[in-house]
Amino acid sequence: MARYFDVHPDNPQPRALAQVAEIVTAGGLVAYPTDSGYALGCRLGNRDGLDRIRSLRKLSDKHHFTLVCSEFAQLGQYVQMDNDVFRAVKAATPGAYTFILKATRDAPKVMLHPKKKTVGVRVPQHTTALALLKTLGEPLMSTTLILPGEEDPLTDGWAVNDDLGNLLDAVLDSGDCGLEPTTIVDLSEDGAEILRHGAGDPTPFEA
């Protein structure tokens, strides 16, 4: 059963964040709030964690997992960006976007698209998510918590705990979060392709 942590939305308690970070570091799978619904997350390189996410969400091996980072400066270690892409992503970060980019050698191989060698990256605008990432000290391998057959992500920690508590190691709850998932922009080839319209304004990336 998941350990349930209920924290303040504006000032999440450091002790609770440290306990969730310890669970992640030990190989656990956690659910945490973002500005675009709840997400599932595990430690970098945690193959078992990704397999658990795939099973829970019924995902194929072609699903793009996302590295959720605490700040833009972290992205350059994991994805390749030329000058134009660098400026475009920086201007939209933090925000409700997920960007698909070619991975660097530092990106965890277990989460790369098997053929394209790409990975998703994002920096959320959510106090609790950012506080957890800073406490952890590294990005989380993540995906939006959208259950099979549903179109929208879960938005309440108590509901996540009720529905999935027996499949997770921790649930971090700081109240209701945004309903819309991120806008996904593929910048891995020439130009930009909008793969999913969500909370982020796609206009800057449309031809």
Q: Is the pLDDT of residue 177 over 90?
A: no
Mean pLDDT of 129-157: 93
Both tokens assigned to 122 = 């994002």
Q: Is the pLDDT of residue 162 over 80?
A: yes
Mean pLDDT of 166-194: 91
Q: Is the pLDDT of residue 154 over 90?
A: no
pLDDT per position as a tens digit, 62-86: 888 999 999 999 999 999 999 999 9
In the chain, the domains with their CATH numbers are 3-205 (3.90.870.10)
Q: How far apart are the first and last CA of the chain?
A: 47
186, 64 Cβ separation under 8 angstroms: no
Q: Is the pLDDT of residue 111 over 80?
A: yes
Mean pLDDT of 102-127: 93
152, 96 Cβ separation under 8 angstroms: no
Q: Is the pLDDT of residue 174 over 90?
A: yes
Mean pLDDT of 96-106: 95
At residue 101 the predicted structure's pLDDT band, cuts being 50, 70 and 90, is very high
User: Which pTM does this prediction carry?
Assistant: 0.94
At residue 207 the predicted structure's pLDDT band, cuts being 50, 70 and 90, is low
- Long-range pairs, 159-166, Cβ under 8 A, ≥24: 160/31, 160/38, 161/2, 161/4, 161/31, 164/2, 164/31, 164/56, 165/1, 165/2, 165/4, 166/1, 166/2
